[in-house]
Amino acid sequence: QVIKCKAAVMWEANKPFSIEEVEVAPPKAHEVRIKIVATGICRSDDHVITGGLVMPFPIILGHEAAGVVESVGEGVTSIKPGDKVIPLFVPQCGECNGCLSSKGNLCSKNDIGSGTGLMPDGTTRFTCKGKAIHHFIGTSTFTEYTVVHETAVAKIDSAAPLEKVCLIGCGFSTGYGAAVQTAKVEPGSTCAVFGLGGVGLSVVMGCKAAGASRIIAVDLNSDKFAKAKELGATDCVNPKDFKKPIHEVLIEMTGHGVDYSFEVIGRTDTMTAALACCQYNYGVSVIVGVPPAAQNITFDPMLIFTGRTWKGSVFGGWKSKDSVPKLVADYMKKKFVLDPLITHTLPFTKINEGFDLLRTGK
């Protein structure tokens, strides 16, 4: 059956979301239709609206969510109606070189780089006012019902609170994993985290969990410092308080630069600053924020020649289908907290207000 439900449709760039009635087609073979219970708002959704991340319009955004399976297509055996699940914007097909390698987690079936806005078979399951609506990175969670491929959904503990563990669908896992998986922060090391949104705070939590002795949090919004300290930051620095470049400030604070730095904003200038602030020979800098489209970085290659490592991290380096159920289990065992990352809870129809809160740093 086709389901008619509410969705937040983005008809064109730089406009508010429009709450519309959409038709959601039944799942085809190896697909799963999910009733979305809770979804988070992530800056990557906003990057699509502003053109920083290029995707086709009209589109249903959203990629950080949790819900309950409504129905499954033929051939789906791992998941059944009624299961609690988290959609995965990085799928795990288990067959491509990314999935088969122990070194990586970015499945070749992802739609992040190509940005087709379609299901793997090249079609869409959403229609509104007679028009086909695009999917967003295989998830599209700003809707009461969505359809995802079976490789892009993880079954989780039936007791998990969906309004909390939805954050494991992106923000928490991305930040925490960047520290513990991608950088592999060691006990006693020093870290710098640029950007203290939900993902940046999750990096702070990951650095602390890994035993870092010093965690320097960097943000232009000093209102974010109290929460960063609550979650493990030892120092908080606002670049506006200094006349000199921030990487010089951090090198002075540490004597030789940090062991690990993380850029969790998605700006080219902060990416270069994060690289420059890490130790010149064995420092590691990780890009976590989505880079803006059509912008390149120019930097002095001596920064790399002396031995620094510059890395990227998508979804915290986790193999999604394998790791998400384990992360949910760890949350249930109280190995980490999610509540401090939740500042506001709004009804779905107030999604535009939610994005206003994101844009004003609240």
Distance CA 254, CA 259 (A): 10
Q: Are 176 and 316 in contact (CB under 8 A)?
A: yes
Distance CA 198, CA 64 (A): 12
- Helix H or strand E encompassing 227: helix 225-230
Retrieve residue 301's tokens.
């290659």
> Which residue of the set 5, 18, 30, 47 is catalytic?
47
Distance CA 334, CA 220 (A): 31
Of 151, 133, 184, 149, nearest to 324 by C-alpha is 151
Query: 356 Cβ partners below 8 Å, 6+ apart?
Result: none
> Which residue of the set 5, 18, 30, 44 is catalytic?
44
Q: How far is CA 156 from CA 87, 153, 318, 334, in A?
A: 11, 10, 16, 16
Distance CA 35, CA 240 (A): 44
> Considering just the CA atoms, what is the radius of gyration of the chain in Å?
20
Retrieve residue 1's tokens.
């059956």
> Which residue of the set 93, 107, 166, 170 is catalytic?
170
Query: 186 Cβ partners below 8 Å, 6+ apart?
Result: 210, 211, 259
> Which residue of the set 63, 134, 135, 149 is catalytic?
63
Burial (0-12, 13-18, 19+ Cβ within 10 Å), 276: buried
> Which residue of the set 42, 107, 166, 277 is catalytic?
42
| 47 belongs to the catalytic site | yes
Q: What are the φ and ψ backbone dihedral angles of 248, each rounded to 5 degrees?
A: -70, -40
Which residue numbers are catalytic? Answer: 42, 44, 47, 63, 170
